[in-house]
Chains A and B, each alone.
Chain A
Amino acid sequence: EVQLVESGGGLVQPGRSMKLSCAASGFTFSNYGMAWVRQAPTKGLEWVATISYDGSSTYYRDSVKGRFTISRDNAKSTLYLQMNSLRSEDTATYYCTRDLGGGYSELDYWGQGVMVTVSS
């Protein structure tokens, strides 16, 4: 059974940093691209970043470029999202997702999500 379990969320002040993790199991992690998708309270879904199966390629939405870094450790089957210079508009639930095509496909499995609140 595919499982994606996020951790690392919480309350953080504007301008500070936070790192999210996503532990994957039930599939060969190193064979799949992965992505982060977020959802602000009572809002819709917004793609944040994608990483290829081997970590060699990364892609970001414009609003997080230069502030967020997606990475992975295939030996640990873990996906990360380093978030720097956080803003109030980054407040959202962040979902770890499996991205079959690494930027060109549906997102077939989602974690339960982790809440990030940016506030002073």
Chain B
Amino acid sequence: IQMTQSPSLLSASVGDRVTLSCKAGQNINNYLAWYQQKLGEAPKLLIYNANSLQTGIPSRFSGSGSGTDYTLTISSLQPEDVATYFCQQYNSWYTFGAGTKLELK
């Protein structure tokens, strides 16, 4: 199942509400996760089952969507949120999107 993320690069200011998109090639039944990868680090799970917040993740992160279209929202961007964000579907094995690189404006 192909996963398409947009945009590939996003520039935003501290305090902005940020929205990242992920589109699946077919219905993935909410079997979608979001990961954050900071430079030089391993990915970290943020959201699973499309909208469930992983333990220990700040509440400014949220996930939504259904069917083929999903969104990760950061309600108020913080400097430590600079990273690349990947979506992953697990409806049929595992495929990842190419990522959205989030930088500060």
Contact = CB atoms under 8 A, between A and B. Distances in A.
Contacts, number: 53
B37 to A, nearest CB: 8
A107 B42 contact: no
Q: Is the interface of B mostly helix, strand, loop or mixed?
A: loop
Contact of B88 (A45, A95, A101, A109): A45
Interface string A28-62: 00000001010000001111001000000001010
B94 A47 contact: yes
Nearest to B96: A45
B42 A95 contact: yes
A106 B97 contact: no
A95 B99 contact: no
Given A45-B86, A108-B54, A103 B42 contact: no
Contacts of A111: 42
B43 A95 contact: yes
Nearest to B49: A106
A113 B39 CA distance: 13
Contact of A107 (B45, B93, B98, B99): B45
A113 B44 CA distance: 13
Interface in B52-86: 54, 86
The 4 closest A-B pairs by CB, nearest first: A47-B94, A106-B48, A106-B33, A110-B42
